[in-house]
Structure formats: structure tokens, C-alpha cells
Chains A and B, each alone.
Chain A
Amino acid sequence: MRSDPADYELVAPGNLQAAVALLAGDPGRWLPIAGGTDLMVQYAAGTLRARKLVSIWNLPDLRRVEILPGEIQIGAGCTYTDLREHAVMRDEFPLLARAASWTGGIANQNRGTLGGNIANASPAADSLPMLLAYGADLILVSARGERCLAYRDFHVAYKETKLAPDELIRAVCLPRRFAGYVSYARKVGTRNAQAISKVCMAALARLEGGVVHDVRIAVGSVAPVPLRLAETERILDGKPVESSIVALARKTAAAEIRPIDDIRSTARYRAAVVSNLVAEFLEKLRASAMGRE
């Protein structure tokens, strides 16, 4: 343990209003901490720069799931366990429920929050490609009020987001329009559990008469931010799934991503795996079109 607890201030305002008031009073000085599964690791390693933290763990306003007719609003303070166990999540947003089961072990899932994952903005975070694929919106809250932002626009650069210094993520909104979609997700980690992603992909599409519509392919760990493969989606949209399109999709996907060599893996490997996972997704679509699924 390389930090001195005495050097840190940690307060728990107890409700959302008080929390955002605190942030407003001294923007950029208070670092929000929810489940702590990222920040406490930095703290123990002696690399946590912030000295003032505000606990937003288990605030009722942040840990609700609201089911509305057209969308669900997942409180940013929901833990991965909350997501895994929620019936609507399992039924309508299975990729998110699966990502939740891939994040850390059970103890991490009981504490890590969706909002924390998003705000921490690691391109390797497991749930972020899922949110991109589902076309999530974020509700951001501050003392100035609330605003809605397409999640797609949230990440600006590596670990840089559009979250203002006095803002918190209040909820993640997912549109309830994926009934009947074929969905695919795969995490490629350094091992089968408790692993940081080397590549993580989430994909969805609607098939009509064997033709692909509204395809979404999102990937983590292959760019400074989680990425929608917009070019790959464009060449697939409105096409039937057959082998020539697969080859083109692979090439397009490999060209769209910007993977790096790092302590966990190599750029070449990541590119190859992304290409393979795109092909796997298309194979799933093809099998679905043929009625085998």
C-alpha cells in the first residue's frame, strides 16, 4: 500500500443533490468514487493524483433501473451484479448482461458500477462496446441541471470525455428496440476470467429476408476510445451475408481500427482478432438467416 490515508479527504454527501452541489462548489477538485474498483487500485499503487474524493456509492438516485415503454434508464450507480440479475437486462440487452459477467470476478462485480466504467474511460472496459452497439444515451447531471448526450459522442480522446468537471453520469438510456435482432459479443482477454480485454466486440443486426439492416459493430481495446466500426457497418448495411461481403468486411474492419502494442498484446494480433470476430459475427448472421439458430 503506497499511499497515506491521512493525505486524502473522502466525503459522503449521502444524496445526489448534495453530491453535485459539492462538485459545483469546487469544480475539478472532487473526484467521484463509486465502487472504487479502479480508483482504489491506483490509490494502493500510489498513482492516484486526486486528494479529495466524494463517495457516490449506493446513492438511491443513481442505483435505480427505470423501465419505460421505449427505453430503460440504468442508474450509473448500478453494479455489474445489478445488471446481471436484472430480468429486462437479460432479456432485452443480453450483451450488456454478458459484459457485466466478464468484468472481474464476482467480488468486483458486486462493487464496480456502470457509471464508473464509463467515466474511467478505459478503452479496454468491457461494457463500453455494448453501450455503443445499443446506441446508448447518457444523462449527465450537475447543479446546473441535466443534459442528454449520445454515448457515441462521449469519448473524445484517450481517457478524455465530455463530462464537465462538475458533472456526474446519472443514467444510461438504452432504447428498447432490439427484439428479434441477432446479437453477438466476445471478449478476448489474457485468460478466461479476471482479465483485461485485449479485444472486446459487441455487434447487433436485424435480418430481413437474409439482408442485413441496422448493423452495429463496436470494439474496445483497439483505439484510444471504444469504437463503432462505421465504415464496416456501411458496407454491410442492406447487403445479404455471403462470402464476398465477409472478406470485404474483414479488410474494412482491420483498416478502421488503431490498435497498439502494449503490455498485454500487440497491434497485429488485435487487428487479426478483430477481423476474425467480425467474420464470426457474420457467420452467426448467416446461420440465423438460414434458420439454423
Chain B
Amino acid sequence: MTPKERTKREFSLVVNGEPKTVRAHPMERLLDVLRENLGLTGTKEGCGEGECGACAVLMDGALVDSCLIPILQAQGSNIVTIEKLSGDAQLCALQEAFLECGGAQCGICTPGMILAAQYLLSRKPRPTMEDIREGLSGNLCRCTGYTQIFEAVAQAARRGASA
């Protein structure tokens, strides 16, 4: 074992409903642990500064930017990523709405955006356009100008998409 390996520790967390144990340095970013240790590449890095929201996941039910969380602080927590939202065959209502309304263009912001929308709808099942605008204001999209993303979220809400 190299000296670097020796200073790694084990961290246990629940990811998408499954218990996981990873060996990592405590300051390893949750984003990198998800993508590299656990192979869950649906969560993306867009900026590394907590500005773009592409790395957003749910941690103990709260929307967070995983690029800003050291894995030590995720010890024992419950993480939900984009991979959890759809079963193998069935898309969730948000995902369907994004497809119908054109909410995804290049797709890189989409996982974070859907997580943010999921979080919003779980707390405000009947959001106004202002609620949607505010709820997604921490997720940057360069392709869509947000219009069709908001339409998708509104449509999912109308179809009773909460939680």
C-alpha cells in the first residue's frame, strides 16, 4: 500500500437506497466519490465552485452541491443522485416532462436541474412560476434560456409529480 493509500479511511453512506462503503481521503469531494469510487457518472462537474449546480444531489433530503462537500461530512448520510429517479423502464414524471417540453438540450445541466426540481416539488407540490424560478436559480443552463425547463417543471407539478 502506498503512503497515500494508507491515509485513506472508510466511509459508509447510503446511496440511492443502497448501503455503500468507500475508501477515500476525508477531503475527497462527494462529487468525485460518487463519480469515481461508485461509478455514478450522472452527477456532473460544471464549475467546481458551487455556482452552476450541475453537481447537485440530495443529501439527507436536502439539495446540495456535491462539489462542495468533503466525503467525511457525508459519512452516514443518505444520498440520492439522478440514477435513482428512474427505474430501468419507467421514467419519473419530471423526466417525462423534460423530454416533452424540451427541458434538456445538451443535457449536461439536466441531472442537477432535475434534482433541484425534484427538491422543489417535494416541498412545493403546486409551485408558482416564481417558485420554480427561485427553486432553480442555483442551476445554470446555457442552452435553453430556462423557458422550457420551467414549462417542464410546471407540467410535472400539474401531473402530481411530488416526491
Contact = CB atoms under 8 A, between A and B. Distances in A.
Interface of A: 1, 3, 5-6, 8-12, 33, 35-37, 40-41, 43-45, 53, 55, 57-58, 81, 104-108, 110-111, 192-194
A59 B9 CA distance: 21
B25 A8 contact: yes
A6 B26 contact: no
Contact of A40 (B7, B62, B68, B135): B68
Contacts of A58: 73
Contacts of B80: none
Interface of B: 4, 7, 24-29, 32, 48-51, 53, 56, 62-65, 67-70, 72-73, 75, 116, 119-120, 134-135, 137-140
Contact of B56 (A5, A107, A194): A107
Contacts of A55: 70, 72-73
B70 A6 contact: no
Given A10-B72, A41-B50, A106 B26 contact: no
30 contacts: A3-B27, A5-B25, A6-B7, A8-B27, A10-B26, A10-B70, A11-B26, A35-B68, A36-B68, A36-B70, A36-B73, A41-B48, A41-B49, A45-B48, A53-B27, A53-B70, A55-B72, A104-B50, A105-B139, A106-B63, A106-B116, A106-B135, A107-B50, A107-B64, A107-B116, A108-B50, A111-B68, A192-B137, A193-B137, A194-B140
Interface centre among B4, B28, B138, B139, by most chain A C-beta atoms within 10 angstroms, is B138
Nearest to B115: A107
Contact of B50 (A1, A8, A40, A192): A40
Contacts of A33: 70
Contacts of B51: 194
Given A1-B48, A194-B138, A40 B70 contact: yes
Contact of B68 (A8, A41, A53): A41
A83 B65 CA distance: 19
B24 A5 contact: yes
A8 to B, nearest CB: 4
A118 to B, nearest CB: 19
Given A10-B70, A106-B63, A37 B50 contact: yes
Contacts of A43: 27
Given A8-B27, A55-B72, 15 more contacts: A6-B4, A6-B7, A36-B70, A37-B50, A45-B48, A53-B70, A58-B73, A104-B138, A107-B116, A110-B62, A110-B64, A111-B68, A192-B137, A193-B138, A194-B137
B151 to A, nearest CB: 19
Contacts of B75: 12
A106 B50 contact: no
A183 to B, nearest CB: 21
A69 B51 CA distance: 39
Contacts of A35: 68
A21 to B, nearest CB: 19
Given A1-B32, A107-B50, A8 B67 contact: no
Given A6-B7, A6-B25, A10-B26, A105 B69 contact: no
B69 A111 contact: yes
A108 B65 contact: yes
B29 A40 contact: yes
Contacts of B65: 107-108, 111
A40 B67 contact: yes
A218 B50 CA distance: 28
Interface centre among A12, A104, A107, by most chain B C-beta atoms within 10 angstroms, is A107
A242 B121 CA distance: 47
User: Nearest 4 CB-CB pairs, A to B?
Assistant: A105-B138, A193-B137, A5-B25, A10-B26
A10 B137 contact: no
A240 to B, nearest CB: 37
Contacts of A111: 64-65, 68-69
A43 B48 CA distance: 10
